[in-house]
Amino acid sequence: MKYFLQISQLCTEAEAIAANSFLDAEQSSAHIVRLVAMNLTNEEKDLINLWENLNDTLSERIFFLNKYENLPKDQYEQLTKSFSDVLNKFVTSDLKRSIASFLARLTLSEQNDLKMFGEKFDEEKLVTLIDDKLKEDNISVIERDEIRDYLKKLFMTNKST
């Protein structure tokens, strides 16, 4: 309940209790992330500072993804699960079931690829990845189009789709 003060200023009491419960469940992943950050070498910290000064978020993202992917399997799986849980909590609240299901099945690598393609405004690669993943689904053409359109809007936020 360590977030209760901040959350209670934004939410009703019931919402604050639910939010704190949700955040408390993700503390083990937050601890793993803190340990990764605490164990960075001076050279790595210098690189991160350089990227921050250049506003090079893509390099930072790739660096940390590599760090996380090299963790022991159980820790990496914990981070992946938490990432998916948080993503799903915030984006599936009022989504159609087919979109929510698709988002829940994305691997961390696929999520990161979609983010990267969106940041680079590489619509072709973004759509190809989505379409390849959709091949696994037995859904209508209309649902496929809705999923594709939703993800294009989600990941290509600075460009009209």
Tell me the pLDDT tens digit for each residue of 109-125.
898 899 899 888 899 99
State yes or no: pLDDT of 158 exceeds 60: no
DSSP the chain: -TTHHHHHTTS-HHHHHHHHHHHHHTHHHHHHHHHHHHT--HHHHHHHHHHHHHT-HHHHHHHHHHHHHTS-HHHHHHHHHHHHHHHHHHHSTTS-HHHHHHHHH--HHHHHHHHHHHHTT-HHHHHHHHHHHHTT----HHHHHHHHHHHHHHH-TTS--
Q: What is the pLDDT of residue 87?
A: 75
Calculate the average pLDDT of the chain: 84
Q: Is the pTM of this model over 0.75?
A: no
Residue pLDDT, tens place only, 68-79: 999 999 999 899
User: In percent, how much of the chain has pLDDT > 90?
Assistant: 35
State yes or no: pLDDT of 25 exceeds 80: yes
